[in-house]
Structure 1
Amino acid sequence: MRLLIVDDEPLILQGLIKVIRKVAPGGTEIREALNALEGLEVMKNYMPDITITDVNMPEKNGFEMIEEAREQELCSRFIILTGYDEFEYVRTALRVGVIDYILKPIDQEEIAILLERINKELPPASDTDYTRHASRILAYMQVHFRKDLSLDHISQIMNLHPNYISSLFKKETGQTFVNYLNGIRIDEAKKLLVSERDLSVSSIGEMVGYDNKHYFAKVFKRYTGTTPGEYRKSASGEADC
């Protein structure tokens, strides 16, 4: 389980981490943030299963952070942590859809039971991670396939190890990273060869990410069984019919 703790008071934050690390289910990974803005930034890469957050923080309060995180689909489970036992806080917490509302200082047994319940409700961690990471990577490739993409480049963008990404591709697509990328590029090239007849084959190759026209032709033939020029002629003949 991936857990994020957000509190603007460093000493309290470290105390929370110590307590929660002690009582959290085995395998729980904990990250921290000192305010709502930092919390949102951490969420973008970490994508926590659950966020425990203070309410009263500068610039953005806990409720505002929750609403923004939900809008951006960064996290869907939240526990409000505050020193205020007031109905208005409870009502606001319920409105933004938090899981629970806990008063400081936290009760170890209470938070242990709550985290264990949440952990049991989560899908297996490996499946959750693979699905989330695969969705982000595949979406990125669909937009940026024209760039000089590589496993190292993707690993830096996604903050994931290249070996993990390679394994992920085999599991989610049945293909290697290179084969999947070539598939996207060749599919786009086929469309352009038909729709952009004024453009040369080498220009289309460059548009889909291949700077070398000979390499483009080689990859194209490997995936389609024909050269780009032959594919264009064949498609033109079909269109005339």
Structure 2
Amino acid sequence: MRVLIVDDEPLILNGLVKIIGEAAPLGAEVFKANNAFEALDLMKDYMPDVTVTDLHMPEKNGFELIKEARDSGLCDRFIILTGYDEFEYVRKALRTGVVDYLLKPIDKNEIAALLAHVEQELPSEADPECSGHAKRILAYTKTHYMNDLSLDHLAELMKLHPNYISSLFKKVTGDTFVSYLNAFRIKEAQKLLRSQRQLSVNAIGKKVGFENKHYFAKVFKKYTGITPGSYRDEDEVEGNADDDGAPGGPDLPEMRE
């Protein structure tokens, strides 16, 4: 279990790390960030199972952090900390779908109970259905990547909780759902750019699931380093081609046994 703690006040942050480190389930890894920007960077590397964050931070507050992390598929569970005992903050926190809302100073027993509850939601290697769920989800993603896929859609289809699917995805691939899906789409786009030259770049983007041509170009460049048009125009195909004939493609993480 990985726990990320975010607070812009160093003394409070260190205190939270100590308390939560002692309260977290055995074997839990605890990371800390001094602000939302640092938190988002850490999430990309460690993909926490739950983030404990302060609300009132400069430049980017806790609610903005939660939205960006969720939109990017970096973290799905959040526990909000604040020193403001006001109903409006509580109501907004609950609307955001956080695990819970705690006032500073936090109670060690209370945070321990919350983290224990989060741990129970995580996919377990001892769960005999875990591997089966993973194979079904990956198979569906690979065959329906061109459609409008989301964690909520998969959850409804598979009759599982979105948080469970998100954690399971990280567990079996080491990657987030959004990142895996985009990498797979770009891999398929590379094949089409080479094999179906009669189709426009925009048409190929739509065929692999990108309705917006600008977003397709942005994601394509992120994973390959060049634009779709430049990729298509490359002459040096043979020298750096991979097994499926698509040079320079993103490496897709395989399912972990």
Q: Identify the TM-score tier after normalising by the shorter chain.
A: 0.5 to 0.7
2:195 corresponds in structure 1 to 191
* TM-superposition CA deviations, 1:161-210 (whole Å, max 9, x none): xxxxxxxxxxxxxxxxxxxxxxx899669836x979xxxxxxx9x76853
Residue in 1 that maps onto 2:173: 131
Pick from 193, 203, 210: which aligns with 2:238?
Answer: 210
Give 3-state SS (helix, strand or coil) of 1:133's partner: coil
- Say how many residue pairs are matched: 171
Deviations 1:46-73 (A, max 9, x none): 2211110001110011111111212222
**Seq. identity, %:** 52
Cα deviation code 1:102-122 (max 9, x no counterpart): 111111111001100110011
Match of 2:26 in 1: 26
Q: Does 1:140 align with 2:183?
A: yes
Asked whether 1:81 is paired with 2:81, we answer yes
Q: Measure the CA separation in 1 of the matches of 2:176 and 2:12.
A: 36
Q: CA deviation at 1:93?
A: 0.3
Deviation readout 1:146-166 (Å, 9 max, x if unpaired): xxxxxxxxxxxxxxxxxxxxx
Aligned to 2:154: none
Q: Which amino acid aligns with 1:56?
A: H
1:190 and 1:33 map into 2 onto residues whose CA distance is: 43
Cα 1:187–1:30 shift into 2, 3 Å: same
Paired amino acid for 1:191: S
CA 1:81–1:211: 2 relative to 1, 3 Å: same
The answer to whether the Cα contact below 8 Å between 1:185 and 1:209 also exists between their aligned partners in 2 is: no
Please give the TM-score of this superposition, normalised by the length of structure 1. 0.59
Q: Structure 1 pair 186/31, CA: closer, same or farther in 2 (3 Å)?
A: closer
User: After superposition, where does 1:151-162 map in structure 2 within 5 Å?
Assistant: none
Q: Which runs of 5 or more structure 2 residues have no equivalent in the other structure?
A: 126-166, 200-231, 246-257
Residues 1:140 and 1:219: Cα distance change in structure 2 (over 3 Å):
closer
Q: Structure 1 residues 187, 41: closer, same or farther in 2, change over 3 A?
A: closer
Match status 1:50 vs 2:50: yes
SS at structure 2 position matched to 1:22: helix
Higher helix share: 1
TM-superposed deviation, 1:38: 1.4
The structural deviation recorded for 1:133 is: 2.4
Aligned to 2:99: 99
Q: Provide the secondary structure at the position in 1 that maps to 2:102.
A: strand
Equivalent residue runs for 1:7-22 within 5 Å = 7-22=7-22
Aligned counterparts of 1:13 and 1:35: Cα–Cα separation in 2: 10
**Structure 1 residue 140: deviation in Å?**
3.3
The secondary structure found in structure 2 opposite 1:129 is helix
